[in-house]
Structure 1
Amino acid sequence: MKKPELLAPAGNLEKLKMAFLYGADAAYLGGKAYGLRAFNDNFSEDEIAEAVAFAHNLNKKVYVTVNIFPHNEDLAGLPEYIRQLDRIGVDGLIIADAGVFRIAREAAPELPIHVSTQANNTNWSSVLFWQNLGVRRVVLARELSLEEIREIRSHVQLELEAFVHGAMCISYSGRCLMSNYFTGRDANRGECTQSCRWKYHLMEETRPGEFYPVLEDERGTYIFNSKDLCLLPHIPDLVNSGLNSFKVEGRMKSVHYVATVVKVYREAIDSFLQDPAHYTVRPEWLAELQKISHRDYTTGFVFGKTTHQDQIYWSKSYLQTHDFIGLVREYDAARGWAVVEQRNNMKIGEEIEIVQPGKPPFVQTLSAMTDQAGNSIAVAPHPQQIVMLPVSQPIVPYAMLRRKVVKPSDE
């Protein structure tokens, strides 16, 4: 049984490091141009080089998105950019457009090519087409069932990748025109405004300014808003389908999201491969996925076509049970104290949970705290404030501190 790759999103260098430290085998990221997440931090060429060096030192991989649908003006500088990525040593390009594929083949003939989910590969013949052109991997369309994935695998030899967790898109394989129509920002060129998450009302042409809810709800309706994908309970089916890579969506999500999802899927995949006959989905894994910001979960298309039950019509409905409040920078084993970078207001007396790679979370009370000068403080209110605090168990750098929220957020 071949071990599938766990592929994590990396919106910036910190998220990439967290993804690898919490168990990802590979990460995908975008440069400052040519990718579909223009509003994310993204990576300069120097940062891509640093990311690749960090990954390769851990025997892990980095793939770079070049997956816009470019117009003529978007091609300026593309060949040299691809040559530079090749010199840096990235492990693959993720492309969606045949023109970009042609340029990549000329600019860097040996650089592995992955065909993006945006390319809408929904059948074995289209995947075989890319295989015959020398593509290393195809990222399958999200609209496929497990049965269809198995059939594709039976016809092709190249690597297959599919999304297993994260946000779903209203548009077929992510080919969205709504953002461009409403705002002039082209989702297919990296500027998606996520207009599928907006609240909508109905207005009749002869009665401008009179807005009517599309459903019987005075707050309006989110008619395009999908639940989030979560295939954690179906790891055995995914492994047995012949997929080579399990992809997590979320380059614009938080450090807490990336680390938590990766940690959970890492543990689940390893547990199944270690003992397939006795594999069970642990309740603590599912509980962990409730602690991050998410929408209600769905299995998407893997067991058939979606229905109204896979949509959320009444709100944006972001849920989470815990707030991310700090990231550990150092740990003083002799003293039992940690140096923490604050990410959310935290106070003495609060019960906090500490999460770190390869170990179960533990809970303790925040009993003391000092600033960098060693002065005792009762609260850390400033973003990215450096504080020191005692911890009840040994921890490692990049451990996360979080706090239970009284009520799930609705962002």
Structure 2
Amino acid sequence: MNKPELLLPVGNTEAFFAALEGGADAIYLGLRNFNARDRAKNFALNQLQALLKESEKQNKKVYLTLNTLIKNNELSQLLDTLYLLSQTTISAIIVQDLGVYYLLKKYFPQIPLHASTQMGFHNSIGANFAEKLNFERVILARELTFEELVKIKKKSNIELETFVHGALCYSFSGMCLFSSYLGGMSANRGKCRQPCRRIYQNNAKGKYFFSLKDIQLIEQVPKIMEIGISSLKIEGRMKSAEYVYRVAKAYRMVIDNPHKIEEAKQILQYDFGREKTTYFFGQNVKNAITENPFVGIHLGNISEISKNNFTFQNNHSLKIRDRIRVQTQDGMNTNALKIKELHHIDESTTIVSENHNFTVNDKVFLIGLSEKRFKNKFSKDGKRLQTQMPKRQKQNILAQIGSIKTPKIFTIYARIDSLKWLRKIYFDNINYLILNLPKKEWADFDLQNPFLQKQIAKLVLQLPKFISENNIGFYKSLCLLFYKNGVRKFMISHISQLDALPKRNDITILASENVYSLNDVAIQFLKENNVDSYIYPLENDAENLQKGKDRKGIVPLFFHPELFYSRMPVEAENPFSDKDYEYEKVIKNNITRVISPLPTSLLQYKDSYYKVGFRNFLLDFSFEKPSQKRFNRILKKFHNSTAEQPSSNFNFKNGLN
């Protein structure tokens, strides 16, 4: 049995040395731009070079994360970064954006590529498609069962990487819009503000409905090793060096000695994460949500406070330089501090500290130990690199990307998520109808119906964002059935679904907003892969859209964005709210979607978009109650270029960060 690679996160220099000391085979890290952990310290260029030199000495691999979505005004800086990386000995680059992939493959083909979990690969079609694109490795979605992992491995040849330890996002990675919706801080651009860790009010009670426990698969490592997974990944680029060392040591122990699971579990007791779950690897995910979204070991509650100290019941042996966190009773505020002075009396501990406005019954958590220190400086910086691509070379590349051509035909796309809408829509008033139906409704869709046969040229079959391994056959057959009955337009919701469509020359392929076309280079990739049209991302902003050369995409003007898109069920009843907004959950195909009942309406900007060359527009009636009156109202406002109220404009005016 081949041993898998043990891959550790590194957010700073100390964590790098901790990973090596703990037994990592490889580490992954980010520079100070274009990575999905914007809040981690990350690395400067001179540090990267020194780190690579040290890694080579110890025969360790280094993967660099470049796994965010890129805006049009960032393409020049992106090219500089790629040019710089091409001068290094980096082992691979981890990417999300199809534009980043395109530039690397075309202009820097010598650099190996890994498909980030942000790309959303989750089945064997995806794994095999990634191999066709010459990715070296696919980092699979965290939401897969062990049985699905086995099937994907059997049906594919590409290297597979899976997460085995660390924090979990509630939504599928790459499919979360919640943070972006709350103020433009996009999870897809490394700026997530963790809405899944918030309290939400439901029936007058506050609860952490979406806060997942941390995944821990230490007991499952021998099974994962048996099926031949290439790399076991640990999450945590914002975690301490101590965490990196401890988790590396535990998983190294089990990889090398599978019978030492219990000993490894003892080490992991002090990773200071949240409660643990095996998530979809286990048989039951009902216990995967935690009521405490914070990390650490609960020591006790404050029993007494004086001017410069506080006391709490405690049966742990705390030391100077240990780190603790004090959490208010309502869970809304926390303060972290390093212990500088303490006194043990019986079972109580008194900590001397400046006054942080703590109160009696506030909870005290242990979040770090002082017992081990790691090197935090490199012996030498690496050689200086050329940080900018030659001007002419950059200009030539950018000149080859995209072109400004205004489409000749004005086109209205409508989208529905229920068969009930078919009786409410006037087909004469739209050009195309996108069918994004739940799986159970397809059986009732009568393609032989004379009325539908008359409209067959207007129908677009959309595939869902997530297709489990067991459902691949169903959706392939569905596409073929629609093709045989005259449908020639198909919309993919993941780039790999190109391989699920009928292999025919007369079909038109469209891409949903989930196949991100945030920049002109990503659009270039889509065009070169036979995608005829594409919906621009819902979290886009006006400046980015208009700064791009492309005008052939579909501009979404009315929609309810799926803020969360998750395989994980939740208890929340509709509606529920945070301090600012109200939300609802909608379950389709066993996927939980969280939406705002308030639509996003950009209808008032239709005329201004038309003036700058856009001709294709989307009115998405998904999550709306089927109503002829509602359809007519939105269509009228579209033609008049007037806003629907009340509504949101998402990031359109305030910007995508």
Q: How many residues align?
A: 321
- Establish whether residue 286 from structure 1 lines up as the match of residue 265 from structure 2: yes
Task: Assess if the C-alpha contact under 8 Å between 1:29 and 1:63 holds in 2.
Answer: yes
Distance (whole Å) between structure 1 residues aligned to residue 107 and residue 12 of structure 2:
26
Kindly tell me: are residues 301 and 74 of structure 1, through their superposed partners in 2, closer, same or farther at Cα, counting changes over 3 Å?
farther
User: What does residue 22 of structure 2 align with?
Assistant: 22
Taking only the aligned residue pairs, the percentage that are identical comes to 36
User: What does residue 421 of structure 2 align with?
Assistant: none
Q: Secondary structure at the match of 1:308?
A: coil
Gaps of 5+ in 2: 299-315, 323-336, 345-350, 355-370, 376-657
Q: Secondary structure at the match of 1:17?
A: helix
Once the two structures are TM-superposed, the CA of residue 83 in structure 1 deviates from its matched residue by: 2.2
Given residue 131 of structure 2, which amino acid in structure 1 is its aligned partner? Q
Given residue 176 of structure 2, which amino acid in structure 1 is its aligned partner? C
User: What does residue 57 of structure 1 align with?
Assistant: 57
Distance (whole Å) between structure 2 residues aligned to residue 40 and residue 31 of structure 1:
10
Kindly tell me: are residues 138 and 287 of structure 1, through their superposed partners in 2, closer, same or farther at Cα, counting changes over 3 Å?
same
Which of 311, 322, 337 does residue 289 from structure 2 map onto?
311
Once the two structures are TM-superposed, the CA of residue 325 in structure 1 deviates from its matched residue by: 5.8
CA deviation string 1:182-239 (max 9, x = no partner): 2321111110111211122249xxxxxxxx21xxxxxx21111001000001111110
User: What does residue 491 of structure 2 align with?
Assistant: none
Q: Secondary structure at the match of 1:260?
A: helix
CA deviation string 1:142-163 (max 9, x = no partner): 1111111111111222211000
Once the two structures are TM-superposed, the CA of residue 131 in structure 1 deviates from its matched residue by: 0.6
Distance (whole Å) between structure 1 residues aligned to residue 114 and residue 95 of structure 2:
6
RMSD of equivalent CA atoms: 2.6
Which of 251, 276, 282 does residue 265 from structure 1 map onto?
251
Given residue 164 of structure 1, which amino acid in structure 2 is its aligned partner? V
Q: Which has the larger radius of gyration?
A: 2
Once the two structures are TM-superposed, the CA of residue 96 in structure 1 deviates from its matched residue by: 1.3
User: What does residue 2 of structure 2 align with?
Assistant: 2
Once the two structures are TM-superposed, the CA of residue 45 in structure 1 deviates from its matched residue by: 1.3
Distance (whole Å) between structure 1 residues aligned to residue 68 and residue 286 of structure 2:
30
Given residue 281 of structure 1, which amino acid in structure 2 is its aligned partner? I
- Establish whether residue 173 from structure 1 lines up as the match of residue 150 from structure 2: no
- Establish whether residue 241 from structure 1 lines up as the match of residue 227 from structure 2: yes
Given residue 261 of structure 2, which amino acid in structure 1 is its aligned partner? V
Task: Assess if the C-alpha contact under 8 Å between 2:165 and 2:215 holds in 1.
Answer: yes
Q: Secondary structure at the match of 1:88?
A: coil
Gaps of 5+ in 1: 204-211, 214-219, 273-278, 328-342, 351-378, 383-394, 400-411
User: What does residue 149 of structure 2 align with?
Assistant: 149
Given residue 82 of structure 1, which amino acid in structure 2 is its aligned partner? L
1:128-143 equivalent positions in 2, closer than 5 A: 128-143=128-143
Distance (whole Å) between structure 2 residues aligned to residue 222 and residue 396 of structure 1:
34
Distance (whole Å) between structure 1 residues aligned to residue 77 and residue 343 of structure 2:
55
Given residue 293 of structure 1, which amino acid in structure 2 is its aligned partner? F
Kindly tell me: are residues 324 and 134 of structure 1, through their superposed partners in 2, closer, same or farther at Cα, counting changes over 3 Å?
farther
1:8-407 equivalent positions in 2, closer than 5 A: 8-202=8-202, 212-213=204-205, 220-272=206-258, 279-282=259-262, 284-303=263-282, 307-312=285-290, 314-320=291-297, 344-345=338-339, 398=374
Given residue 253 of structure 2, which amino acid in structure 1 is its aligned partner? E
CA deviation string 1:283-314 (max 9, x = no partner): x322222212211100011245x6331111x3
Task: Assess if the C-alpha contact under 8 Å between 2:14 and 2:374 holds in 1.
Answer: no
Distance (whole Å) between structure 2 residues aligned to residue 69 and residue 235 of structure 1:
32
Distance (whole Å) between structure 2 residues aligned to residue 20 and residue 318 of structure 1:
24
Q: Secondary structure at the match of 1:142?
A: coil
Task: Assess if the C-alpha contact under 8 Å between 1:143 and 1:172 holds in 2.
Answer: yes
Kindly tell me: are residues 3 and 290 of structure 1, through their superposed partners in 2, closer, same or farther at Cα, counting changes over 3 Å?
same
Kindly tell me: are residues 380 and 109 of structure 1, through their superposed partners in 2, closer, same or farther at Cα, counting changes over 3 Å?
farther
Distance (whole Å) between structure 2 residues aligned to residue 294 and residue 262 of structure 1:
14
Distance (whole Å) between structure 2 residues aligned to residue 141 and residue 295 of structure 1:
20
Q: Structure 1: which 4+ aligned runs deviate by more than 2 Å? A: 73-76, 317-327, 343-350, 379-382, 395-399
Q: TM-score, normalised by structure 1?
A: 0.72
Distance (whole Å) between structure 2 residues aligned to residue 197 and residue 171 of structure 1:
12
Task: Assess if the C-alpha contact under 8 Å between 1:82 and 1:107 holds in 2.
Answer: no
Distance (whole Å) between structure 2 residues aligned to residue 285 and residue 297 of structure 1:
14
Distance (whole Å) between structure 2 residues aligned to residue 89 and residue 116 of structure 1:
20
Task: Assess if the C-alpha contact under 8 Å between 1:5 and 1:245 holds in 2.
Answer: yes
Once the two structures are TM-superposed, the CA of residue 319 in structure 1 deviates from its matched residue by: 3.0
Kindly tell me: are residues 280 and 39 of structure 1, through their superposed partners in 2, closer, same or farther at Cα, counting changes over 3 Å?
closer
Q: Secondary structure at the match of 2:126?
A: helix
Once the two structures are TM-superposed, the CA of residue 76 in structure 1 deviates from its matched residue by: 2.6
Distance (whole Å) between structure 2 residues aligned to residue 349 and residue 311 of structure 1:
36
Given residue 136 of structure 1, which amino acid in structure 2 is its aligned partner? E
